[in-house]
Structure 1
Amino acid sequence: MNPNTSPFGVANLGPLAQLRAGRLTERLVRLLGGLWLYGVSNALLMQSALGGSPWVVFHEGAARHLEISLGAVMVLVAVAVLLLWIPLRQMPGLGTIANTLLLGPFTDLNLRLLEAPEALPLRWAYLIGGVVACGMATALYVGAQLGPGPRDGLMTGFARRTGRSIQRVRTCIEIVVLAMGVVLGGTVGIGTLVFALCVGPVTQFFMRYLVLRLDAPGDSMK
């Protein structure tokens, strides 16, 4: 496998090469649409009240020990994850910045739009819908080829460097993060396990169809 291309043709281009790779308007629409859908996913998962994602469990557990706010932990974790990009040679881009700045507001807005259900079947529908929306959103915004968010960059970086499938890499990351969150004392629910085991296969399924392949060659070190 080309070390500069992850599965399904996600190229590891530098920031300028990403912008010069063509079809920019379409890719920007995909980026924003994917991040909006990611906010919908977060809201569905949170309103289901069946357990947060592994990253949420980890953030909660870390906050218990660091004695700082959950939001501050999320920022620190994002910075630490970005440092892990260095050995993976994962390149940032406009999508990395957009993920950092827009995902929170999009999540907050959708939380106001989606009421928390009381009936258990509807809560399960929210959970399943959240997992499916997360996989689709990831494929859509990462597939725009404008750079992944901090945590999704781990997925694409490891997939590119190891040659493993998106499904396997994403599932392994979620399980490792979940285990660390449990050790730190984070709260786990049945929804946490469903998310950890299912989001990888769902993401890989949508990556097959939603990655926008680029015709222009790029240099990952630009």
Structure 2
Amino acid sequence: MKRELKWKWLFFFVGLAVMSFGVSMIVEGKALGVGPWDVLHIALFERIGLSIGSWAVITGVIIVGSTSLLLREWPKLATCLNMILCGMFIDFFNWLLPNSSGLVFDVFYFLAGVIVLGVGCALYISPRLGAGPRDTLMILFAKKFGCSIGNARLAMEALIALVGWSLGGPIGVGTIIIAFFTGYIVQFSLPYFERMLKGRINNEGRTNNLTNQDIDHLAKEI
């Protein structure tokens, strides 16, 4: 069990970092538009200050607090870590990445960012340690109104994007691309990472078993 949790948390943390890197790349190529939630985060950053990552954390705290009250249960550890670490990673990568200097770089940042974002989502989801704040809200939304998760996500993100746009956030064709294609990238990548995680856990288990057998054999010889 300890071995299994070690690999699960490793996939979870690396996945959050990769996903946040994708978000930062998209933000650098924001001339084409950004993800629905980042439309809101960037609008709040430009109007009030702080940082994009800070607003990602603040909106996450509001969502987690609200859903916890509605569900009358404490949030999972993975949900809280997702909420805090994503904002920190986004600010770090925004600082690290060079600024885009033209449309060509905007397109490169955006397209690469969408792929990295989807792969990172699949990687952090693969251990099944818990949904992020926005995913939890999406599931609650679907249960409340009796609709599919896909329709709930589309409606929720459309509403958030409109709110962010009304505040001055960068909405564009890229926002639509992210909304429609990220799910397909996750769907394609998720089975691969699930198999990889299972293989890592099983391989290490076999290694440990062999080591124990060797120790027993040596003890018998002595």
When residues 22 and 89 of structure 1 are mapped into structure 2, their CA distance, relative to the original with a 3 A threshold, is farther
**Alignment map for 1:28-47 (pairs within 5 Å):** 28-47=9-28
Pairing 1:201-220 to 2, within 5 Å after superposition: 201-211=184-194
With 87-96 and 105-114 compared, the bigger mean Cα shift is at 87-96
Written as runs of structure 1 = structure 2, the 5 A alignment for 1:53-202 is: 53-61=35-43, 69=50, 73-82=55-64, 83-84=66-67, 87=70, 92-157=75-140, 164=148, 167-202=150-185
Change (3 A) 1:160 1:25: farther
**Aligned counterparts of 1:24 and 1:94: Cα–Cα separation in 2:** 13
SS, match of residue 171 in structure 2: coil
* Residue-pair matches, total: 193
User: Is 1:49 matched with 2:30?
Assistant: yes
Contact 1:171–1:199 at 8 Å: present in 2 too?
no
Normalising by the residue count of structure 2, what TM-score does the alignment of the two structures yield? 0.68
Cα deviation for residue 89 of structure 1 reads 7.8
Pair member with larger Rg: 2
Map Cα deviations across residues 46-88 of structure 1 (whole Å, 9 max, x no partner): 11132332112223556788x6756665444223322135556
> CA separation in 2, counterparts of 1:37 and 1:115?
17
Q: Which residue identity does 1:95 align to in structure 2?
A: A
Q: Is the 8 A contact 1:89 1:157 kept in 2?
A: no
Seen in structure 2, the aligned counterparts of structure 1 residues 74 and 49 have a Cα distance that, compared at 3 Å, is closer
Q: Distance in 2 between matches of 1:209 and 1:160?
A: 29
Structure-2 residue corresponding to 1:8? none
CA distance in 2, matches of 1:45, 1:197: 15
1:208 Cα deviation after fit: 4.0
Distance 1:63 1:28, change over 3 A: closer
Greater mean alpha carbon deviation, residues 35-44 or residues 200-209:
200-209
C-alpha displacement of 1:40? 1.0
Stretch deviating more after TM superposition (149-158 or 123-132) = 149-158
For each residue in 1:2-23, what CA deviation from the matched residue of structure 2 results, as whole angstroms up to 9, or x when unmatched? Answer: xxxxxxxxxxxxxxxxxx7971
Q: CA RMSD in A?
A: 3.5
Q: Does 1:24 align with 2:5?
A: yes
TM-score for the superposition, normalised by structure 1? 0.68
How far has the Cα of 1:204 moved from its partner? 3.0
> Which structure 2 residue ranges, 5 or more long, are not aligned?
199-222
CA distance in 2, matches of 1:134, 1:145: 18
- Deviation for aligned residue 1:119: 4.0
Quickly say closer, same or farther: Cα 1:92–1:21, change in 2 above 3 A. Answer: farther
Percent identical residues? 28
Higher helix fraction: Structure 1 or Structure 2? 2
CA offset digits 1:93-122 (Å, max 9, x no partner)? 232222123222322332343222324233
